[in-house]
Amino acid sequence: MKRYDTQTLALCAVLTALALALSYMEGMIPIPVPLPGFKLGLANIVTLFALDFLGAAPAFIILIARCVLGALFAGNASALIFSLIGGVLALAVMALLRRTRLLSVYGVSIGGAAAHNLGQVFAAMITLGTAAPLAYLPALLIVALFTGALTGFITSLLFRAMRNTKMRPKQKGLS
Amino acid sequence: MKNKELTLRPRGWDAIVVAAVLLAALLTGACIFGKASDKSLDCVISVDGKEYTRVALADVPESGETITVGHGYSVTIEITPDAVWVASATCPDQYCVRTGKISTAGRSIVCLPSRVVVELEASEGQTDFDIVSG
């Protein structure tokens, strides 16, 4: 078991709260496209940030905590499977893409958004027991290009802002 | 280490991710909607705005089925499991014959002089999955 120092632990807690707030806030933004499962994926900003700043393991913990707490607050158990499958798939793809060292935040973010939407479609197929939700996949993938670019842009702003603080990434061969 | 951080500006390699996602969208789109066309379709024939008959393409024999309808002029419609077309019509403009074969949901053949509309509709009874959202 890896031990985290106080700063990392506090940062994880703050990021979990931020991710929760973002995914809650997202529900209040009206979306003009009538596409089920279409979300901006603002919480993905936190995942991507945590992945790069803290490493894959803390990012995973934050993700799980966000999904479980989010489902708990929303009182919606079926939302848990959607956000878990989508979130874990997004994290896995982003961790892989990041390791290639070839991509910028934008590429990683777009890959993550696409993986997230793919996971949502899978979750819908599992809960409904039919392949019908697949029909939404092409549209959701196209949409992921834009939402991914948007979250990538916001994440890049976040990283720029973080450079002006005293906090520095803890990169000791993580991920 | 600084060099472990992600680049903040878009790089050329990002285009590969974009291309991959686009390709995946196109491929899944082609698979799903290519398959959807040979899924259960209904051929709906209306005369004078009223539904005259509804034939499920799946129930049509391989040799095809011929239906002759019309209001004033008569239109002979051929229905096979794969496609629907107007084989002949006594109307003066023959637009319906020249429309040719239709085979996907939403396509239609219209013959104005005889007031015949032939439409292909996706059959009822598909699962409603719009009610669930994550």
pLDDT at site B93:
81
Q: What is the pLDDT of residues B41-89, one digit of tens each?
A: 888 898 888 888 888 888 888 888 888 887 788 899 999 888 899 998 8
Tokens, residue B46:
């209306």
Q: What percent of chain B is predicted at pLDDT more than 90?
A: 10
User: What residue spans of chain B are helical by DSSP H?
Assistant: 14-37, 95-99
**Strand B50-56 and strand B65-69: pairing?**
unpaired
Contact, B134 vs A120, CB < 8 A? yes
The upper half-sphere exposure of residue A36, i.e. CA atoms within 13 Å in the direction of its Cβ, equals 19
**How far is the CA of B122 from the CAs of A14, A126, B37, B106, B119, in angstroms?**
50, 24, 9, 8, 10
Predicted TM-score (pTM) above 0.90: no
Contact, A26 vs A42, CB < 8 A? yes
**B31 Cα to chain A: minimum distance (Å):** 10
b/e for B92-130, b at 16 or more Cβ within 10 A? eeeebbebeebbebebebebebbbbbbbbeeeeeeeebe
pLDDT at site B102:
86
pLDDT at site A68:
92
C-alpha to C-alpha distance for A93 and B120, rounded to whole angstroms: 41
* Amino acid occupying residue A8: T
pLDDT at site B5:
67
CA neighbor of A39 nearest in space, from A107, A113, A122: A113
What is residue B102's three-state secondary structure?
A: strand
Q: Which residues of A touch B134 (CB under 8 A)?
A: 37, 78-79, 82-83, 86, 120, 123-124
Taking 70 as the pLDDT cut, the residues of chain A under it are 1-2, 31-38, 132, 167-175
Q: Which residue of A has its CA nearest to B15?
A: A107
Q: Which residues of B touch A97 (CB under 8 A)?
A: 17
As beta bridge partners, residue B120 has: B43
pLDDT at site B36:
52
**Strand B75-79 and strand B41-47: pairing?**
unpaired
Q: Residue B13 is nearest to which of A103, A105, A142, comparing CB atoms?
A: A103
Q: Which residues of B touch A138 (CB under 8 A)?
A: 25-26, 28-29, 32
Q: What is the DSSP string of B49-80?
A: TEEEEEEEGGGS-TT-EEEEE-SSS-EEEEE-
C-alpha to C-alpha distance for B67 and B114, rounded to whole angstroms: 14
Q: What is the pLDDT of residues A17-37, one digit of tens each?
A: 999 999 888 877 776 666 665
Contacts of B48 (CB under 8 A, 6+ apart): B71, B115
The residues in B 46-105 lying below 8 A from A, measured between CB atoms, are none
SS3 labels along A25-74: HHCCCCCCCCCCCCCCCCHHHHHHHHHHHCCHHHHHHHHHHHHHHHHHHH
Q: What is the pLDDT of residues A64-91, one digit of tens each?
A: 999 999 888 877 777 788 889 999 999 9
